Homo-oligomer: A and B are copies of this chain.
Amino acid sequence: MALSSKYYLEVPAASLDNNKGEIDRINSLLEDFTGIKRIDWPIDLIISSLPVIRSSNGQLTVTACRDGDRLSLISVESGDTRSFHFGIAIDLGTTVVAAELIDLKTGDTLSSEGEINAQVRYGEDLLTRLHFASQGGVNELKSALLDTINKLVDITCKSSGIPSNQISAASIAGNTSMTHLFLGLDPSSIRHEPYVPVVNHVPVLNASEVGLKILPHAPVFIFPSSGSFLGGDLISGVLASGLAKSEKISLLLDIGTNGEMVLGNKDWLLACAGAAGPALEGAVAECATRAKPGAIDRVVIDPTTLEPSFSTIDDKPAIGLCGSGLVDAIAQLYSVGLLDSTGRFVLEKHTTRWQKINHRIAYMLTEERTGSNLPPIYITEKDIQNVLRTKAAMVAALTVLLNSVGISIEEVQKVYTAGSFGIHLSPESSIAIGLYPRLPLDRFIPLGNGSLQGACRVLLDASNIDEAKRIADKITYLELNVHPTFMNLFRSAKYI
């Protein structure tokens, strides 16, 4: 059952023999439908619905949220409007907030959009924003995030031709800090020992309570966090993958700003976080860009000519290298012998693509493009070292997880790849440079934006609220920074 439900009722007219209250008559029918006796109407909804009820000839569609032992009313419409039943899923990304407008009757996605998180004006990275929050900036950060979210509500509604006051449910996932800021809670404590969030488990709230511009009484589910470093976005990704329901052992790799991984099955879940670092993010490589139109996302180097060819997102003129292009380039350089296993260029191997840029040797993916204001795109050893550090962190983290439960990588039956890089990374290249474990390709399942997908699951099936709570409670967090073998594993994994 979806997070909100619509019930079409034919309410018998009042008479001397049936003179229950107007609302009580509706409640009787709802009780017959749902078996729920406790039906909660907000008073303002009773007041605003009376004209609708009285002009409806008894034909009403009631939208409500089934929550535990009660039914909470959301809206009342005249006639049979069960076909107009919508919910919105939102992923509170640190950089990009994503939203998906869902038809809760058919399960179809009507619109899927992303917007830069307006909080970036207070700091590109999370730490800057957390500092600002601790200086009294919580409400500004909350407003900025809310503006972004409500803009997405607006955009997805407009593109689907649906008024926002027909959205009767929302489901939201974000990391622990973003979730705090969304709720107007100061997340400062998250980053200081003992790393305690204000709250992990938030009850289902009302849209009006959190400032979401959909139906005011629409339920808003917020994914629970499992501590400061395991946010609701990861819980949501685990939910979307289904790994916590499977007999088989699976792995979820979420390689975003802050790499996270979860190993486990229906009986146990082990997670670690913070291992990836920003190496794969737009900001690090010299010619890096976010995965947007014009970003080089696929690279092939001819083993004979050593000349590169590439594709860009949406086939636009190349503007830079996104994470997947970077991983492809490194894998290809290594494969054709232009890179050794320590991440150094093999300059003895001759190609016109070697060029000196800012006193350093680079491999040029594009030529100087005269008559264009687009810069040349290239890759340096420093870029490669950054990626290898991320790779080493991922490998070390995975090894720690596997060793903790005493299993080998071959026992991992499925690898779900999520996060902004998981979507685009080529499994072949990722395996080639060791970022992904060496497993048969058919075990890799790209999840897309796992956080957003999990949020959609809750919209379409509210029993996933309990499942999310179960995951958050079950998951065990392994703190890598204090782990005795992590640093050794990390150091020995900085090679291709």
Contact = CB atoms under 8 A, between A and B. Distances in A.
A405 interface: no
Contacts of A50: 185-186, 198
Interface residues of A, number: 46
Interface string A35-47: 0001111110011
Contact of A199 (B16, B24, B68): B24
A462 interface: no
Contacts of A185: 43, 46-47, 50
A22 B68 contact: no
A195 interface: yes
B43 A201 contact: no
A199 B38 contact: no
A70 interface: yes
A32 interface: no
A194 B19 contact: yes
A357 interface: no
A29 interface: no
A197 interface: yes
Interface in A171-186: 183-186
A41 B198 CA distance: 12
A65 to B, nearest CB: 14
Interface stretch (A203-211, A232-240, A381-389): A203-211
Given A19-B194, A43-B210, A201 B27 contact: yes
A201 B68 contact: no
A50 B185 CA distance: 9
A35 to B, nearest CB: 15
A196 B22 contact: yes
A198 B184 CA distance: 37
Contact of A16 (B22, B193, B200, B203): B193
A196 to B, nearest CB: 4
Contacts of A203: 38-41
A19 B225 CA distance: 12
A197 B68 contact: no
A450 interface: no
A21 interface: yes
A13 to B, nearest CB: 9
Given A38-B203, A68-B70, A198 B23 contact: yes
A14 interface: yes
Q: Which of A15, A24, A69, A185 has the most CB of B within 10 A?
A: A24
Contacts of A20: 196, 200, 227
B46 A228 contact: no
Nearest to A22: B198
Contacts of A38: 68, 203
B195 A43 contact: no
A374 B14 CA distance: 53
Given A23-B200, A41-B203, A43-B205, 19 more contacts: A14-B196, A16-B193, A16-B195, A19-B196, A21-B198, A21-B225, A23-B198, A23-B199, A24-B199, A24-B200, A27-B201, A38-B203, A43-B183, A43-B184, A43-B185, A46-B185, A47-B184, A68-B69, A69-B69
9 contacts: A14-B194, A19-B194, A21-B197, A21-B201, A21-B225, A22-B196, A43-B184, A46-B183, A47-B185
Closest 3 CB pairs of A and B: A23-B199, A14-B196, A21-B197
